[in-house]
Chain A
Amino acid sequence: MLNIVFYFQVHQPYRLRHFNVLDVGRNSGYFDDASNRSIMQKVAAKCYLPTNQLLLELIKKHKGSFKIAYSITGTAIEQFKQYSPEVLDSFKQLVDTGCVELIGETYYHSLSFLYDTNEFLEQVYMHRALIKKEFGYDTTTFRNTELIYQDTLSDVIYEIEGFKTIITEGVDRVLDWRSPLYAYKNYSKSLNLLLKYYQLSDDIAFRFSNRDWPEFPLTVPKFVRWIDHLTLSENQNRNQFLNLFMDYETFGEHQWAETGIFDFIKHLPAEVLKRDNLGFITPCETSEYANYQQEGISFKEAVSWADAERDLSAWLENDMQKNAIETLYDLLEKAKQKGDAEIISQLRLLTTSDHFYYMCTKYFQDGDVHKYFSPYDSPDQAYIYFINVMADIEERLL
Chain B
Amino acid sequence: MKVLMFTWEFPPFISGGLGMACYGMVQSLLKIGIKVDLVLPTRDLVYFPLSIPEDVDNLPAVFIEPKKHKEYSSISFGSVKERLDYIGITKHPESYIQLGEIKKFFRLSKSYESSEQVHWTDSDKLLDEALINLTGEEDLIRKVQEYTLRAQKVASTLKYDIVHAHDWLCYPAGMIARKVSGKPLVVHIHATEFDRSGGPGDERIHNIEYAGMMFADRVIAVSQYTAQMIMSRYIIDSGNIRIVHNAFSVKEDMNDTKQRIFKGPTILFLGRITLQKGPDYFLEVAEKVLFKYPHARFIVAGTGDMGRMLLHRSAQLRLKNRFLFTGFLNRKQVERILLAADVYVMPSVSEPFGIAPLEAMAYGVTSIISKQSGVAEVVNNVFKIDFWDTDRMAETIGYLIENPELCKKMGHDSKEEVNHILWDAAADKIRDVYIHVLEDFLATNKA
Binding site for B on A (CB under 8 A): 20-22, 24-25, 318-320, 322-324, 326-327, 330, 380, 383-384, 387-388, 390-391, 394-395, 398
Contacts A391-B297, A398-B263; A380 near B321 (Cβ below 8 A): no
- Which A residues are CB-close (under 8 A) to B311? 320, 380, 383-384
Q: Binary interface profile of B, 298-325, with partner A (CB < 8 Å = 1, else 0)? A: 0101000001100110111011111011
A97 to B118, CA, bound (A): 98
Contact assessment for B263 and A319 in the assembled complex, using a CB-CB cutoff below 8 Å: no
Q: How far is the CA of A48 from the CA of B181 in the complex (A)?
A: 72
Given B264, B297, B327, which contacts A20 in the complex, CB threshold below 8 Å?
A: B327
Interfacial chain A residues near B316, Cβ < 8 Å: 319, 323
Is B102 part of the contact surface with A, judged by Cβ < 8 Å?
no
Residues of B within 8 A of A320 (CB): 311-312, 315
Q: How far is the CA of A22 from the CA of B329 in the complex (A)?
A: 10
Give, as a whole number of angstroms, the nearest-CB distance from B237 to chain A: 47
Interface residues of B in 243-270 (CB under 8 A from A): 260-264
Q: List 11 A-B contacts (CB under 8 A).
A: A22-B261, A323-B316, A324-B315, A327-B320, A380-B307, A383-B311, A383-B315, A384-B324, A388-B321, A390-B320, A391-B324
A327 & B337 in contact (Cβ 8 Å cutoff): no
- Whether the Cβ atoms of B315 and A322 lie closer than 8 Å is yes
Q: In whole angstroms, how far apart are the Cα atoms of A260 and B324 in the complex?
A: 47
Are B312 and A318 touching (Cβ within 8 A)? yes
How far apart are A126's CB and chain B's nearest CB, in angstroms? 26
CB neighbours (8 Å) of B320 from chain A are: 323, 326-327, 330, 390
Interface residues on B, range: 20 to 34
Asked if B333 is at the interface of the complex by the 8 Å CB criterion, the answer is yes
| B31 contacts chain A at the CB level, 8 A cutoff | no
A326 to B316, CA, bound (A): 12
- Distance in angstroms from B213 CB to nearest chain A CB is 39
- Contacts A21-B261, A320-B311, A380-B307 supplied; 4 other A-B pairs, CB < 8 Å: A21-B325, A25-B260, A391-B321, A391-B322
Contacting B262 at CB < 8 Å: which of A20, A326, A380, A391? A391
CA A395 – CA B340 in complex, angstroms? 14
Q: Is B408 an interface residue (CB 8 A)?
A: no
Interface check B179, CB cutoff 8 A: no
- Select from chain B the residue with minimum beta-carbon distance to A326: B318
User: Shortest CB–CB separation between residue A338 and chain B, in angstroms?
Assistant: 15
Interface of B is mostly: mixed
Distance (Å) between the CB of B291 and the closest chain A CB? 16
Do A384 and B312 contact each other (CB < 8 Å), given the known contacts A21-B299, A326-B318? no
Determine the distance from Cα of A24 to Cα of B333 in the docked complex, in whole angstroms.
Answer: 13
With A and B bound together, what is the CA distance between A24 and B262 in angstroms?
8
**Residues of chain A lying within 8 A (CB to CB) of residue B299:** 21
Q: Chain A contact residues: over half helix, strand or loop, or mixed?
A: helix
* Top-5 shortest CB links A-B: A319-B315, A390-B321, A323-B315, A319-B316, A391-B321
Chain A residues, CB < 8 A from B307: 380
Chain B proximity of A175: nearest CB distance (Å): 35
Let me know if B312 and A22 touch, CB within 8 A.
no
Closest A residue to B324 by CB, please name it. A21
Distance between A37 CB and nearest chain B CB, rounded to angstroms = 25
Cα distance, A154 to B335, chains bound together (Å): 54
Whether B412 is near chain A, meaning CB under 8 Å from some CB there, is no
Q: Closest residue to A323 on the B side, CB-wise?
A: B315
| A166 and B264 alpha carbons, distance in the complex (Å) | 47
Q: Which residues of B contact A (CB under 8 A)?
A: 260-264, 297, 299, 301, 307-308, 311-312, 314-316, 318-322, 324-327, 329, 333, 336-337
Tell me if A395 and B262 are in contact (CB < 8 A).
yes
Given contacts A318-B312, A319-B312, A395-B263, contact A387 B324 (CB under 8 A): yes
Which B residues lie within 8 Å of A318 (CB)? 312, 315
Contact B321 A21 (CB under 8 A): no
CB-CB under 8 A from B260, the residues of chain A are: 25
Q: Could you tell me the distance in whole angstroms from the C-beta of A366 to the nearest C-beta in chain B?
A: 19
Residue of B nearest to A391 (CB): B321
* Residue numbers in B under 8 Å from A21 (CB-CB): 261, 299, 301, 324-326, 337
Closest to A25 in B: B261
Tell me the complex Cα distance, A322–B319, Å: 11
Cα of A390 to Cα of B307 in the assembled complex, Å: 20
Complex Cα distance, B308 from A24, in Å, reads 22
Across-interface contacts of B297 in A (CB, < 8 A)? 391
Per the bound structure, the CA–CA distance linking A178 and B407 in Å amounts to: 69
What chain B residues lie within 8 Å of A395 (beta carbons)? Answer: 261-263
Asked whether, in the complex, the Cβ of B318 is within 8 Å of the Cβ of A323, the reply is yes
Query: Which residue of chain B has its CB nearest to the CB of A388?
Result: B324
Residues of A within 8 A of B264 (CB): 398
Q: Which residue of A lies closest to B311 (CB)?
A: A380
How far does the alpha carbon of A384 sit from the alpha carbon of B315 in the complex, in Å? 10
Q: Closest CB-CB distance, A81 to chain B, in whole Å?
A: 31
Query: Which of B260, B262, B264, B316 lies at the interface centre, i.e. has the most chain A CB atoms within 10 A of its CB?
Result: B262
| CB-CB under 8 A for A22 and B321, given A319-B312, A319-B315 | no
Instruction: List residues of chain B with CB within 8 A of the CB of A324.
Output: 315
Is the pair B326, A20 in contact by a Cβ cutoff of 8 Å?
yes
In the complex, what residue of chain B is closest to A21 when comparing beta carbons? B326
CB-CB nearest in chain A for B301 = A21
Residues in B neighbouring A319, C-beta threshold 8 A: 312, 315-316, 318
Q: Which residues of A contact B262 (CB under 8 A)?
A: 24-25, 391, 395
A-side contacts of B324, CB under 8 Å? 21, 384, 387-388, 391
Which of A21, A25, A387 has the most chain B CB within a 10 Å cutoff?
A: A21
Whole-angstrom distance between the Cβ of A97 and the nearest chain B Cβ: 47
* Residue pair A22, B337 in contact (C-beta under 8 Å): yes
The docked-state distance in angstroms from the alpha carbon of A326 to that of B307 is 22
Bound complex: CA of A326 vs CA of B322, how far in Å? 13
Instruction: State A341–B284 Cα separation when bound (angstroms).
Output: 37
Give CA–CA (A362, B324) in the complex, Å.
23
**Are the CB atoms of A323 and B337 closer together than 8 Å?**
no
Complex CA–CA separation, A323 to B260 (angstroms):
25
Closest to B319 in A: A323
Interface contact A327-B325, CB-CB below 8 Å: no
Q: Which residue of chain B has its CB nearest to the CB of A18? A: B327
- Per the bound structure, the CA–CA distance linking A323 and B317 in Å amounts to 8
Task: Please judge, given known A-B contacts A323-B318, A326-B320, whether A22 and B325 are in contact too, CB under 8 Å.
Answer: no
- Name the distance in Å between B290's Cβ and chain A's nearest Cβ: 13
Closest to A398 in B: B263
Chain A residues whose CB sits within 8 angstroms of the CB of B329 once the complex forms: 22
Tell me, in angstroms, the Cα distance from A21 to B298 when the chains sit together: 11
Query: Is the CB–CB distance between B261 and A384 below 8 Å?
Result: no
Across the interface, which residues of A come within 8 angstroms of B315, CB to CB? 318-320, 322-324, 383
Q: Residue on B with the closest CB to A389?
A: B321
- Using CB atoms, name the residue of chain A closest to B299: A21
In the assembled complex, the CB of A343 is this many whole angstroms from the nearest CB of chain B, namely 14
A20, A22, A318, A326 — most chain B CB neighbours (10 Å): A22
